[in-house]
Chain A
Amino acid sequence: MYNVPFYRCFRDMLSAAEQDFPDLLFFADAAGNRRLYGEFCRDIRKAAMRMTGGNVLPAGKRREGDRYVVLSVKDQYRFAVCYFAAVLAGYTVCLLPGGHPVPEGLKGARVLDEEDSAGLLKEDDAADVEDIPFSGFPEPDPDTSCTVAFSSGTSARDKGCLLSQKNLLHDAEYTMQLYHYWKGERLVHILPFWHLFGLIADLIGPLHYGGCLFDPLDKVRFFRALRDFHPDSVNMPPALADTLYMRLAVCSDPAEVSGGCLKKILCAGAALSDKTADGLMKYGIEPCTAYGLTECSPCVAVTPDGEAKEAEGTVGYPIGCVDVRIKDGEITVSGTTVMKGYFGDDELTRKVLKDGRIYTGDTGYFDAEGRLAVVGRKDNLLVFASGRKCIPEKVEKLVSSIPGIREALLSGDSGPGSLVPHLTLVSDRFTEEMRRQVSELMKKEELYPYILTISEERLRRNAMGKVVRRR
């Protein structure tokens, strides 16, 4: 486990960064812009003073009325500056993609767009606001909400999660006990800061250690950014990890593709395929994964550095500030990173947050080493006549690993008053030996006897490409 600096609030984190790395590169982009840590911190203080009109809030006083700021800024450097400036100025910041419509409940909020953010950072010959140190800003209550992060999760409905500085700092700090950054580490910044994974992994985390970010300014420039910036690590969605592996697999010089220094990647948001994970390891890139949800700030569990191989198929260990328990197959989480509630929706908050514990709707289990494996959604849970509760995705993954079986679907067929396991296998060369292996596995999973259907046709999928489970 790595030693990590812990801070009470952003103010203290930024003050330490300014003191520890004043001349270190913090941010560079494909247009040639560069900002050092010292400059970044000065920009934050200046923007915070301008937001308050030069009058910071007295200690302990909360902003009234115009308490919310909607940050609608695409420029990533300005977004980072304005986010911290607004929190220092006592605002609660709503994270949204640049240009996204303001949510209904926030119509009266102060909106900071591209022009406003540029105005807050403009250089003036005559200083219009006093340059006060971070210690001159009031010490906040770290448990008060400072951020509204929107999560649609697996539903179509936007839900604003209220998160405090303590939620966000603990999430970054406890995650870094397992997955660490180091001073001068170079990261290609591809996750936008308005996305909570981006805010934590690409901004708050590296600020603790003096990480250097490079913004390609356009996703299309990703491979050029790898080649020219030589990053040590990149935080990315699994689809980009697949893309990276595809490019590595066909190139003649892997170092030319990855930049030659890429040691690890951190993926979150969806499962990383075993094929990509195995493939990246062959090129010396450690594929770590994190599991989380916006309601938990977001990280719940992460693969520790150096354990990607052993942890394959899992999302690593729960971070140190959460208590993860499996209840009826469902992953539940409590701890200091759990949100305060949903913005303007007490009813939904009560439904999801029971006694301080989040019911994630995801099903999973712990392996023998204590690593968490996420296998599916609670909605898919099957309860058979034997009383056996079963996560179908887990069994399907096991069955699909038998050579010759392309796909598997476990469902329940109505028996006399209850469900019996029904396994549908897609295979164009199903043999007696395969039948024996499948039956052995089903017995081990306490799903025997079962109905077996063999098909040569692919499983039916919906418009999103997901297998249709219900008949």
Chain B
Amino acid sequence: MTRKELIEVIRRVLNMTTETDDEGDGKEHEVLPGSSLKEDLLMTSFSFMLLSAELEEKLGRELDPELFRDTETVEDLYQRISSLQSDKDAGRIR
């Protein structure tokens, strides 16, 4: 998964969890590599459920919930997923 693809997945989750249509502003969520998942993007435990499900679908493998535990920014998450992808023999992230 590329950095751009991860940002697209996060944006998709944010679109699911916020009703931008009802607000009428039609703005896309600004997701940058340095965006904090909780502080800037206001992701809740429910958003992480969706993100986990979307990523598992995209990556075709199970993710350990620990992946999200101390992950601060989008870039942190990207790095963790990259290391997971490079470690093809490992079934789960430790």
- Encoded as 1 (CB less than 8 Å from any B CB) or 0, chain A from 222 to 246 comes to 1110000000000000011011001
Interface residues in B14-57 by Cβ distance below 8 A to A read 16-17, 22, 24, 44-46, 48-50, 52-53, 56
Given contacts A246-B50, A247-B50, A250-B16, contact A219 B45 (CB under 8 A): yes
A218 close to B (CB within 8 Å): yes
Interface residues in B40-91 by Cβ distance below 8 A to A read 44-46, 48-50, 52-53, 56, 62, 65, 68
Task: With a 10 A CB-CB cut-off, give which of A220, A224, A246 has the most chain B CB atoms.
Answer: A220
- In contact, A221 and B65 (Cβ under 8 angstroms): yes
- A245 and chain B: residue at smallest CB distance: B16
A220: chain B residues at CB < 8 Å are 45, 48-49, 52, 65, 68
B11 close to A (CB within 8 Å): no
- In contact, A250 and B12 (Cβ under 8 angstroms): yes
Query: How many of chain B's residues touch chain A, expressed as a range?
Result: 10 to 19
How far apart are B25's CB and chain A's nearest CB, in angstroms?
11
Distance between Cα atoms of A252 and B43 in the complex (Å): 24
Distance between Cα atoms of A332 and B51 in the complex (Å): 42
B50: chain A residues at CB < 8 Å are 223, 243, 246-247
How far apart are B10's CB and chain A's nearest CB, in angstroms?
14
Distance between Cα atoms of A240 and B52 in the complex (Å): 14
Query: How many of chain A's residues touch chain B, expressed as a range?
Result: 10 to 19
- In contact, B52 and A246 (Cβ under 8 angstroms): no
B46 touches which of A224, A242, A428 (Cβ 8 Å): A242
B44: chain A residues at CB < 8 Å are 239
Distance between Cα atoms of A219 and B48 in the complex (Å): 9
Distance between Cα atoms of A220 and B49 in the complex (Å): 4
Distance between Cα atoms of A243 and B43 in the complex (Å): 12
- In contact, A221 and B46 (Cβ under 8 angstroms): no
Given contacts A218-B65, A220-B68, A224-B56, contact A243 B12 (CB under 8 A): no
Distance between Cα atoms of A221 and B45 in the complex (Å): 11
- B56 and chain A: residue at smallest CB distance: A224
- B44 and chain A: residue at smallest CB distance: A239
How far apart are B48's CB and chain A's nearest CB, in angstroms?
5
How far apart are A165's CB and chain B's nearest CB, in angstroms?
33
How far apart are B92's CB and chain A's nearest CB, in angstroms?
12
Distance between Cα atoms of A210 and B68 in the complex (Å): 35
- A257 and chain B: residue at smallest CB distance: B53
B49: chain A residues at CB < 8 Å are 219-220, 222-223, 240, 243
Distance between Cα atoms of A428 and B16 in the complex (Å): 24
B45: chain A residues at CB < 8 Å are 219-220
B12: chain A residues at CB < 8 Å are 250
Give me 13 A-to-B residue pairs in the complex whose CB atoms sit less than 8 angstroms apart, sorted by A's number.
A219-B48, A220-B45, A221-B65, A223-B53, A224-B53, A224-B56, A224-B62, A242-B46, A246-B16, A246-B17, A247-B53, A250-B16, A428-B24
Interface residues of B (CB under 8 A from A): 12, 16-17, 22, 24, 44-46, 48-50, 52-53, 56, 62, 65, 68
Q: Other than A223-B56, A243-B17, A246-B50, give 11 A-B pairs with Cβ distance below 8 A.
A: A218-B65, A219-B48, A220-B49, A223-B49, A223-B50, A224-B53, A240-B49, A242-B46, A243-B50, A250-B12, A428-B24
